Structure 1
Amino acid sequence: PQIDEIVKGLVERRKFVYLCTNGLLLEKSLDKFQPSPYLTFSVHLDGLRDLHDKCVDRQGVFDKAVQAIRAAKARGFRVTTNTTIFEGTEPKEMQDFFDFLTTLDVDGMMISPGYSYEWAPDQEHFLKREQTKALFREILAPFKAGKKHWNFNHNPLFLDFLIGEKDYECTPWGSPSYSVLGWQKPCYLLNEGHYTTFKELLEETNWDNYGRASGNPQCADCMVHCGYEPTAAVDAMQPGNIGRSVGTLLGSR
């Protein structure tokens, strides 16, 4: 209930805040916030109406979220979207979805392949590593060819990784997660519990147990952004990649 006060305090300290939401309560909550370059609403949308409502198992969620996006944009807020792409997704449908989000003038789109964490209710539609690369190659083909100018909220090297042009290892310490429960043990998708302090997280975590190179079977097919985008960010600082990374920040592909 104090989310507006928390956000206000963080923004005043010039901390960047991405407030994740399914969009259902966003529109009626807008009065609690003030537009700021430091505040972004990140709205969960997994596709167009039929696909998204199926993914969340509730009718009407897509329309409600889109209405909230339009309302937030009209009031000057920054809005991005976050999308999980699963096995069986039609590339053309996802391309149409990106086109639709472009008409909403969203400030960025985040995409990630579905990961088969064991406590997920649906275990049938997660992607294996080679499936991920093939699917994302199809989906992103118009973007990579320069025919589409979708505004992705990603390092371009992470997109290269998704289509198989880069081979990265996971950086499990790259996206630390803290909540009222404490510091999430990596990776949060494995749901291994929490540490009370940051010191415990750093010193008691077996960091070698995460990522494909570790041999951990739970990591074998994972290509999720929380582990691999930090790796891409480090790679972006290499001399051969800096120009492209800066170009993306300035609006060029």
Structure 2
Amino acid sequence: MAAVNSKSSTQCHLSTKIKQVPILKDVSAELFRENIYLKRKPVVLRGFDIGECVGKWTPEYLIANAEDKPVNVHVSSTPQMDFINKNFLYRTLPFSELVKRASKEINEDFFISPVMDNILMQIHGRKRVVLFNPQDAHYLYLKGDKSSVLDIDDVDIEKFPLFVKATRYECYLEPGDIIFIPALWFHNVISEEFGVAVNVFWKHLDSNIYCQKDPYGNKDPVAVSSAFQIVDRAIKALECLPKEYQDFYGRMLVSRIENKCYLKDLDIS
């Protein structure tokens, strides 16, 4: 899979602010649970023994030992999958064909972390992970929970001028590494070679907060869905006003939400 990007003077290479995701070695499960986890920040854990799968799950091993059952996958002609405009198809492939294709292609995704916490364990191969703080959401050009920015390494700053204000957190995962991605953190993942990884998601809030029909954490919490409906009704109510009044009172609504809801003193940078 390959993509050709046409570059111009209106494009930039990277965000102006880059931070490294901390890499911690030989952290005990107790220390992670009682200290690191409570800080609600991404961190890479290195030195855990996650079994003989590390280094063993090569393409040849997987094809030889896994039953060749059909699996459902996204198939795209470009590395950057566009979950807004749907530049991919859903296909059913034999497992062996999926492994063969995956070993030749580089895939890239950019999306919000589910409302559940997430641990990703890198089993085989090397992977780059870029994350963005949920407090930078207003710089990421969201439509729903997806970003309109597809290539975060080559951003058109005329089209997305605010994106460079977002702080970028980077790390590379080696076989055996574990990364903790707290709920709501946006993440972009690039597999630099054939890779195998395992995700584990869990609910860290009271179960009543989550949509009961959403076992994977892809839907907004129940209270958020209700709030979005209220905002949509508020916007609709302003449509009877002239445009300049809509603009003014729309900004007033945004200001009120900022003053009431934004946790300005919360340090999750």
TM-score by length of 2: 0.21
Give the structure with higher Rg (CA).
2
More helix by share: 1
| Higher RCO by CA contacts (8 Å cutoff, separation 6 or greater) | 2
